[in-house]
Amino acid sequence: MQTIKILIADDHPIFLKGLKEVIEMEEGFQVVAQAVNGQEAVYALQTNHVDVAVLDIDMPRMNGLEAAEKMLQHQPQLPILLLTMHKERAPFMKALEIGLAGYVLKENAVNDVVNAIYAVVEGGNYISPDMSAYLLRKPAKTAKPTLVDELQLLTPAERQILKLIALYKSSREIADELFISEKTVSNHRMNISKKLSLTGKNSLLRFAIEHVGTAGM
């Protein structure tokens, strides 16, 4: 098994130490760099071979979102997980816009971080279940007439898949749930993105989370 090299950053030494211990309990995981602020995290990425980065959102000098943007400029395909104490929609949507691969609540980090690393290394996304539940409980925005028209372009199968995407399910999970192939799910995702004129990393996921429940979804 190939070793997964991980960078972690948090300005609380005790949490940082605990995070390292939890991660390295997993066979094949190695923390190769640690940082206590965003600037250090960016420098650590530039001076180490890193497969995954795990960043606290609230750090001095440069917060996790700012550091993530810098890191993705240096290594665009790097899977980055963001750690946060707060259940808030705005920073979560900003994280998706930047292209982050996962969002983990600190209160669940011990249980979630290993699963999150596995998910993003395999090319998927991850969000703590409690965060997902919180987002889906938030009142949905009122759909604009143009949005209603766009959603009507989707077939029943595409609308069903869009709902499952909003639940943060991977293509594999959607395929298993609907008893179809992953390739079929991928084709549906491409068709949905084309019909809704969605481009860019995480754009379909952002759209699904923002608009599920609206316009009769």
Is CATH 1.10.10.10 the classification given to domain 145-211?
A: yes
Token pair of 100 as six digits: 């982050």
Contact 210, 141 (CB under 8 A): yes
pLDDT band at 137 (very low <50, low <70, confident <90, very high): low
Nearest to 67 by CA among 82, 89, 52, 84: 82
Other beta carbons within 10 angstroms of residue 54's beta carbon come to 27
Q: Is the pTM of this model over 0.85?
A: no
> Which fold does the domain 4-134 belong to in CATH?
Rossmann fold (3.40.50)
Q: Where are the chain's structural domains?
A: 4-134, 145-211
Q: What average pLDDT score do residues 89-96 get?
A: 82
The residue that leads in pLDDT, 1 or 173, is: 173
Query: Which residues have CB under 8 Å from 92's CB, separation 6+?
Result: 103, 127, 131, 135
Q: Which of 84, 14, 16, 3 is CA-nearest to residue 44?
A: 16
d(CA 91, CA 13): 24
